[in-house]
A = this chain, B = another copy of it.
């Protein structure tokens, strides 16, 4: 998918919502738990309910791996279901991989061949070698960690370097040269909305994947104010606030409603942006 195609989806749906599929088998509603494939059944119901309001899904690999083989199978089935039923969706494997050489090639093969997602989240610590194999696949993306929303982001990400930049700014400046706006996007935490302005100075045209709106305390309007560009340039992720909106038999309906409410807010923000 190109960035123009992603923007096309955003404009059509009036939404830049990404639903995070952080599916914790321990939080699945009781009536689903007896299913042979509870994680997948939960995801399918969530996807069907939220798809009208969503342009992207982000399965969080940790949750699937923690369930062992059954979890990995549920991840593969979830991606296959998205591909067959909602081929227009942008699917991000939130795996935060970061390795080199033939190992990194193996990860790219896993996520772009064995499982067919659009992008994988990657840690930049080890540099270009971590990212390059992912950029060899036409139409596929690398989603690189830049400035995250967790408290300990200040341990290293904001370390001041002698270039006058903080580490995450060095990451943005160097890594944007490795690819283009059509195959690199960045993770930028919503709790640092005011820092989005300085990030936009370095990467004005790249898509930013913004987690941390809702459960982690970030504000959607702040994110849009500081982070939106003239082709939106944002995917805002929400996980728990949508998929666990309700834990009864009504969970899917409640998730759809929560996604619709975010979409409605996004539609207003998008309209303002596109008028500029």
Instruction: Write the residues of chain A forming the contact surface with B, with a CB cutoff of 8 angstroms.
Output: 22, 24, 60, 62-63, 65-69, 72-73, 76, 94, 96-104, 106-107, 109-110, 114-115, 123-130, 145, 148, 150-157, 159-163, 167, 170-171, 174
**Cβ-defined contact, A148 with B126, below 8 A:** yes
**Cβ-defined contact, A170 with B150, below 8 A:** no
Nearest B-chain residue to A65, judged by Cβ: B110
**Cβ-defined contact, B66 with A114, below 8 A:** yes
Q: Which chain B residues lie closer than 8 Å to A107 at the CB level?
A: 62, 65-66
Q: Which chain B residues lie closer than 8 Å to A171 at the CB level?
A: 156
Give min CB distance, A194 to chain B, whole Å.
20
Complex CA gap A63/B105 in Å reads 10
Give min CB distance, A126 to chain B, whole Å.
5
Give min CB distance, A227 to chain B, whole Å.
20
Interface centre among A66, A104, A128, A163, by most chain B C-beta atoms within 10 angstroms, is A66
The 3 closest A-B pairs by CB, nearest first: A127-B152, A127-B155, A62-B106
Complex CA gap A171/B69 in Å reads 34
Q: A68-B110, A96-B99, A127-B156 are in contact. List 20 more A-B contacts (CB 8 A).
A: A24-B106, A62-B99, A62-B103, A62-B106, A63-B103, A65-B114, A66-B109, A69-B69, A72-B72, A98-B125, A100-B152, A124-B125, A124-B155, A125-B156, A126-B153, A127-B150, A128-B155, A129-B151, A156-B174, A161-B162
Interface centre among A22, A99, A128, by most chain B C-beta atoms within 10 angstroms, is A99
Nearest B-chain residue to A148, judged by Cβ: B126
Interface centre among A60, A72, A106, by most chain B C-beta atoms within 10 angstroms, is A106
Complex CA gap A171/B137 in Å reads 32
Q: Which chain B residues lie closer than 8 Å to A154 at the CB level?
A: 127
Q: Which chain B residues lie closer than 8 Å to A110 at the CB level?
A: 62, 65-66, 68
Q: Which chain B residues lie closer than 8 Å to A167 at the CB level?
A: 156, 159, 161, 167
**Cβ-defined contact, A160 with B159, below 8 A:** no
Q: Which chain B residues lie closer than 8 Å to A60 at the CB level?
A: 103
Give min CB distance, A22 to chain B, whole Å.
7
Checking B98, B127, B150 against A100 with a beta-carbon cut-off of 8 angstroms, the contacting residue is: B150
Complex CA gap A174/B73 in Å reads 38
